[in-house]
Every structure is written in C-alpha cells, then in structure tokens.
Amino acid sequence: MKNIRTALAGLLVASLATSCNQATKTDTTAAATTNSAAPPDTAALAKKPDWWKETVVYQLYPRSFQDSNGDGVGDLRGIISRLDYLKSLGVGSVWLNPIYTSPNDDNGYDISDYRQIQPEFGTMADFDELLRGLHARGIKLIMDVVVNHSSDEHPWFKSARASRTSPYRDYYYWWPAEKGTPPARFSTFDVQHNAWQYDAPTKSYYLHYFSKKQPDLNWTNPKVRQEVYSMMRFWADKGIDGFRMDAFQFVAKDPTFPPMPGLTAQNFVNAYNHGPHLHDYLREMNREVFSKYNLMTVAEGAGRNPQDAMLFVDPARKELDMTYHFDAVGIGNKQGKYQLSELKNVFTKWEQEFATKGWQSIYLGSHDQPRIVSRFGDDRPAFRVPSAKLLTTFLLSMHGTPYCYFGDELGMTNIRFSSIADYRDVAARNGYELVKSQGGSLPDYLASLKIFSRDNSRTPFQWNTAANAGFTTGTPWLQVNPNYTTINETAQNQDPNSILNHFRRAIAMRKQHKVLVYGQYQLLDAANPTIYAYTRTLGQEKALVVLNFSAEARSWALPAGLTLAGPPWLNNYPTLAATASLALQPWQAVVVPIR
Ligand code: GLC
Ligand code: CA
C-alpha cells in the first residue's frame, strides 16, 4: 500500500510539477450537454480584429530546434538557418522558450541576467538578426518572461543572500530562523516538496515555489516590479511583439505567510494562484509596459476556473490579452488514458465563458507536456499519421488562438526513456530522488515518466536521416528519438500527404475562413464517446468539424437540418463518404462547409 501511494506521489511530481498545473477538477457532467439555449453572438469580436486573435503561434524550444556549432545544444543561429522553414509553415508568431543567461537548472526558467542572451544560444547580435529575419518573413516574436522567480545565481539574489542588510534583500522572501520553522509551503520541483530553503550565511529560509535554484521574487516590493517593467520595455523597445508570462498566477503572495495546513500536490495550485494584489500588478504592468506598445500578452495559468481566467483578460480591465489554462492537459494524467468526454467537457466549458468576451489560447502540448500524438492520439504505426492530423485539425478549427508546439507538425512521439540517467529534466530527476527517499517504487515512477515526463517533448527536432536527425553534428544534450529515420521533416516535406503538409493546409484554411477564428462554437452529439463534432458559425458562414477519436471506422449521422454545402475544406483522408451520415475512417478528421 505504502509503495503504491509513494509511486502515485512520484507520478504527481511528474505530471503536476511539470505544468504548474491548475488543479481544478474537470466537471465531467455539466458542460457538454447544454446546447439548447440561444447561441452567443460572437460576431462582435470579429468586428474588432486584433492580430493576436488571427495569428497561429508556433512554440519553439530553442535548445532542441537546430544546433549550428556542433556543441549539441540548439541555438539562435540554428533558428536563423531555419527561418524559411518557419515561413513555409504559415505560422504568424513564434514563441521562444527563455533564451536569457541562465545556469540552466530548469532549462532557462532560472534566469541570472534578464537582458543578455544565454551564451550557449548565441549573442545579442544573433538575437537582433533573428528578430529581423522573422519580421522580414511576416512572423512576430513572443518572448517568455520568467518573473515569479529568478535564478539563485542572479546578482540580486547573490547580494540578497549575503547579508540581511543587502539593498536586494527585499527582492526575495525570507524567513529568519529565529522565528522558528516557516509555515509550510509546497514546492513542485524540490526533492522534499519543501518550498523553504535554509540559507546559512544569514540564518534564514528563502522561498522557492519551484527548485531551490529558483528563489521567488518579492512582488510586494515596488522596486522589483519596476525592475521587471523596465526589463520588459528593454525587449519591447527592441521590437518584439509579445510576452508569455511564465507561472504568473503565482507571483502574488501574502508576505506574512499565514499557515496553510494540508498543502498537497493536488491542492497547492489553487491555494497559491490568486494571491493578494495579483490583478493590481497586472494593471500596473499594463500601464507601465503594454499600453505603450502593440504587444500580445498571454499568462501561463489562469486561476481556479474560467471565471477567474476572465479576470485576466476581460478587455475592460486592461490586464492581459489571453491566458492558457491546464484543464485539458490535466486529463488522463494518471494512466495515460482518457475519455473523449473529458476533452469535450473541458473545451466546451471554457468556450462558454469566453464565447463573447475575452480570448483564449487553444493548445494540447508544450515543453511541459508529453507529445500530443502519444497522449491524445495513437502513436502506433498504423494510426500515428491520421491521429496527428486529427489533432492538428482540432487545434486549427477551435475558437481561440492556436498554440502549436514544435515537432507536433511532424507527429513526433514520446521517447519513453528506460533509465533515469537518460532524463535531463529537473522535475524528473528530483521526482526520482523523492520517490527513492520515501522508499517508493522506482520502476513504477520510471513507468510514469515514460508517459508524462517533460523530456518526452523536448527531444531534438527531427530534420532528416543524417546522424542525430540533422539536429547536431555533436552529441545532443538530450537523446534524439531513434524514430527520426522514419519521422523527419525532409521526408514529410516531399510527401503531399504528410502530417507536415496537412499542418500547412490547416493553417492556410484558418487564414482563409474567418469563421474558424471568430465563429461561434457549438458542440454536437455531446454524449458520443468517440466522435467530437462541433459547428462554427459567423453570420452566413458555417463550418462543421467532425473528428473520429478512435482507431475504428465509425458512421456519424448528420443532425437534422444540417446540410453539407461543398467539399471539405480539410480532410485527413482522400475522400469523405457522406450521405445522411458520414462514414469516417479511423481517426478521420474533416472540416466541411455547411448550410
Ligand atoms: C512554467 C514553465 C516550466 C517551468 C516553470 C518554472 O511552468 O512552463 O517549464 O519549469 O514555469 O519556471
Ligand atoms: Ca549550439
């Protein structure tokens, strides 16, 4: 029994820790059934176009995209050499995971200089060239802003930890040892889940919600906030186009640290994610930074529920443009299996809140999540291609800005390492230490990592059949998935029926049909266990999306009153057999105009 419990705790490290997960439980009964009320009118949003509503974001993990100098680490010159590839996809924006100077405890999410480029990624001149190259191709650049915490190697923290009278002491949270043990706080990456680290030089504990090399910045200190705004203006002045606010829902804390008994991996997110003055900080940031530029802003994390999330993005509040929530990526995170009804319920629930106000991001995968085809599709050889295309079809036909994670356009899969030595992620490695120290089952923990480790989606991009998939001429920092010999960009570029070319067609379709950006979403046949079907409607323009989430052929009866108005705009099979019902092939996905 103890073993099972410890293994489960370990698994939660892998899944929760990796995503700053929104521990909100999905309501599996309510959402997907209500469709009788008059549909909301989304047309008003279409009349107020914002570029960030119409863009498609490509999330690019710089460490793993393209190495230019053979040191095994992807870099900016590598990205520069692949700009035409990015252009060929049709994406409107690229979000780069952090590229600032960092000791790399958490792959760049621990920053030691917010105004310099990580040397292994290149120089500021490389950055400027990259930005120009993207802009020359009509692609915007979104930067990751990591300001819940800095690195413990940031000069602010080095000074702060050296003396209690340092001018930077109040840039962080301290608990002097003479006050006893600090009130418990939960840390996701810590080997003991303890967010307080004792620091001998000043006989005090400092707070770290993530690893002990990621001390939390003290947002109650106006100087910290001004430093952050000034740093953001520095990048905005360079001409970048947006900010992704890392872990932002956690920045606000009550500096008196009242007791929070019973914090666990399951409840800590909700306990932390709406601290005092969070929205004051965002409004201040908006005044100080966003209002002066034409930027897109998106927060990671969105509070406890869609109503909380609306507080971040209601335009009247002048805070952010979008958030992304974790409800969908929380699905199936125990056994690696899920019910389609869960996915429908989550997306429908969130859509209901955002139908006519605010804006959402739509995503299934990221650098914190496993590969989408391994998780939500079926990566067995017979079904990988159609299921990856189906997931692309879903992302590009929903209401909200699509975020497509690099490599998913090729249908890259989980690598499923067998040994802890192969993992690089701090979450996996520290999770392993935790399970070990608790005497838990290490084989069970390793099995869970095969499903959920973040390293599954961080393996190098698979360009071609050369050594290391053409990613590097050296030794890659993280192993290349051996399936690169069959799954790679060069092969797919040449094949009109590849996942890659389907991805390009899906983006082109979205650009052509504004109904897919702004149209009202209505779920059909909510109870169907294998078919996800919905319509999108914008004035006279209507589309039907039907996705067969199964490895079997299925027939789906067209609802009464719904008539197909032409051939599919997008189809992952050569044909669509349609009479009064659609005869769908395994994992078939279609977008069809309707009347
Ligand atoms: C966010 C990032 C994740 C990082 C964490 C701490 O969740 O997406 O990669 O580990 O914040 O910065
Ligand atoms: Ca390199």
Nearest ligand, CA of residue 119?
Answer: 2
The alpha carbon of 588 is separated from its chain's Cα centroid by a whole number of angstroms, namely: 25
Average pLDDT over residues 8-21: 35
User: pLDDT-derived band of residue 184, with 50, 70 and 90 as boundaries?
Assistant: very high
Evaluated on CA atoms 301, 302, 303, 304, the torsion sign reads negative
pLDDT > 70? residue 17: no
Between 97 and 45, the higher pLDDT residue: 97
Cβ-Cβ contacts under 8 Å for 102 (sequence gap 6 or more): 108, 109, 110, 111, 112, 118, 151
pLDDT > 60? residue 10: no
Ligand 1: does its nearest atom lie under 6 Å from the Cβ of 20? yes
Nearest ligand, CA of residue 64?
Answer: 2
Q: Name the percent of the chain lying above pLDDT 90.
A: 87
The alpha carbon of 471 is separated from its chain's Cα centroid by a whole number of angstroms, namely: 23
Query: What are the phi and psi torsion angles at 172 (to 5°)?
Result: -130, 175
pLDDT > 70? residue 149: yes
User: pLDDT-derived band of residue 2, with 50, 70 and 90 as boundaries?
Assistant: very low
pLDDT value for 26: 36
The reported pTM is 0.93
Query: What are the phi and psi torsion angles at 284 (to 5°)?
Result: -65, -45
For residues 59 and 123, give the distance between their C-alpha atoms in angstroms, rounded to a whole number: 21
For residues 440 and 278, give the distance between their C-alpha atoms in angstroms, rounded to a whole number: 38
C-beta of residue 74 within 8 angstroms of C-beta of residue 64: yes
User: pLDDT-derived band of residue 92, with 50, 70 and 90 as boundaries?
Assistant: very high
pLDDT value for 331: 87
Tell me the C-alpha to C-alpha distance, in Å, between residue 545 and each of 243, 534, 593.
31, 5, 9
Ligand 1 pocket test, pick from 19, 20, 217 with the greatest ligand atom count within 8 Å of Cβ, gives 20
Residue 10: how many CB atoms within 10 A of its CB?
27
Please say if 408 is a catalytic residue.
no
pLDDT one-digit tens code per residue, 390-445: 999 999 999 999 999 999 999 999 999 999 999 999 999 999 999 999 999 999 99
Ligand 1: does its nearest atom lie under 6 Å from the Cβ of 368? yes
The alpha carbon of 552 is separated from its chain's Cα centroid by a whole number of angstroms, namely: 30
For residues 395 and 403, give the distance between their C-alpha atoms in angstroms, rounded to a whole number: 8
C-beta of residue 541 within 8 angstroms of C-beta of residue 514: yes
Measure 40 CA to ligand 1 centroid, in angstroms.
Answer: 35
pLDDT value for 44: 73
Tell me the C-alpha to C-alpha distance, in Å, between residue 81 and each of 139, 401, 474.
15, 27, 17
Between 48 and 256, the higher pLDDT residue: 256
Minimum-distance ligand 1 atom for the alpha carbon of 148? 12
Query: Per mean pLDDT, which range of 36-40, 191-195, 383-387 is the poorest?
Result: 36-40
Ligand 1 pocket test, pick from 60, 95, 105, 109 with the greatest ligand atom count within 8 Å of Cβ, gives 109
Nearest ligand, CA of residue 69?
Answer: 2
pLDDT value for 48: 67
User: pLDDT-derived band of residue 29, with 50, 70 and 90 as boundaries?
Assistant: very low
Between 7 and 452, the higher pLDDT residue: 452
Average pLDDT over residues 263-285: 93
For residues 277 and 280, give the distance between their C-alpha atoms in angstroms, rounded to a whole number: 5
Spatial CA neighbour of 471 closest among 463, 481, 483: 463
pLDDT > 50? residue 186: yes
Spatial CA neighbour of 153 closest among 103, 202, 119: 103
Closest protein CA for atom 9 of ligand 1: 368
Tell me the C-alpha to C-alpha distance, in Å, between residue 456 and each of 205, 210, 328, 430.
34, 20, 18, 17
Ligand 1: does its nearest atom lie under 6 Å from the Cβ of 146? yes
Ligand 1: does its nearest atom lie under 6 Å from the Cβ of 91? no
CA angle 357, 225, 257 (to 5 degrees): 90
pLDDT > 80? residue 3: no
Nearest ligand, CA of residue 122?
Answer: 2
Measure 135 CA to ligand 2 centroid, in angstroms.
Answer: 23
Ligand 1: does its nearest atom lie under 6 Å from the Cβ of 324? no
pLDDT value for 5: 34
The alpha carbon of 305 is separated from its chain's Cα centroid by a whole number of angstroms, namely: 17
Cβ-Cβ contacts under 8 Å for 121 (sequence gap 6 or more): 62, 73, 74, 75, 76, 99
C-beta of residue 325 within 8 angstroms of C-beta of residue 298: no
pLDDT value for 16: 37
Average pLDDT for the chain:
92
pLDDT > 80? residue 334: no
For residues 266 and 203, give the distance between their C-alpha atoms in angstroms, rounded to a whole number: 31
Q: Would you mind telling me the total number of residues written for the chain in this entry?
A: 595
pLDDT > 70? residue 9: no
E strand or H helix at 427, and its extent?
helix 426-437
C-beta of residue 71 within 8 angstroms of C-beta of residue 122: no
pLDDT > 70? residue 30: no
pLDDT value for 43: 75
pLDDT value for 302: 86
User: pLDDT-derived band of residue 23, with 50, 70 and 90 as boundaries?
Assistant: very low
Average pLDDT over residues 146-173: 98
Average pLDDT over residues 270-295: 95
pLDDT value for 7: 34
Average pLDDT over residues 481-486: 98
Closest protein CA for atom 12 of ligand 1: 109
pLDDT > 50? residue 8: no
Set 110, 120, 300, 489: catalytic member: 300
Average pLDDT over residues 314-342: 87
Ligand 1: does its nearest atom lie under 6 Å from the Cβ of 455? no
Residue 321: how many CB atoms within 10 A of its CB?
22
Residue with tokens 């983006």: 507
pLDDT value for 37: 57
Ligand 1: does its nearest atom lie under 6 Å from the Cβ of 531? no
Ligand 1 pocket test, pick from 106, 243, 361 with the greatest ligand atom count within 8 Å of Cβ, gives 106
Cβ-Cβ contacts under 8 Å for 377 (sequence gap 6 or more): 383, 384, 387, 388, 390, 391, 587
Evaluated on CA atoms 49, 503, 371, 140, the torsion sign reads negative
Closest protein CA for atom 4 of ligand 1: 109
In this structure, what token pair is assigned to residue 326? 């974790």
**DSSP state at residue 70:** S
Ligand 1: does its nearest atom lie under 6 Å from the Cβ of 109? yes
pLDDT value for 522: 97
Minimum-distance ligand 1 atom for the alpha carbon of 110? 12
Ligand 1: does its nearest atom lie under 6 Å from the Cβ of 346? no
Please say if 246 is a catalytic residue.
yes
Spatial CA neighbour of 360 closest among 404, 304, 312: 312
Minimum-distance ligand 1 atom for the alpha carbon of 301? 7
Nearest ligand, CA of residue 120?
Answer: 2
CA angle 577, 581, 584 (to 5 degrees): 50
Average pLDDT over residues 503-516: 98
Set 105, 152, 216, 246: catalytic member: 246
For residues 55 and 321, give the distance between their C-alpha atoms in angstroms, rounded to a whole number: 13
Average pLDDT over residues 208-228: 98
Closest protein CA for atom 11 of ligand 1: 247
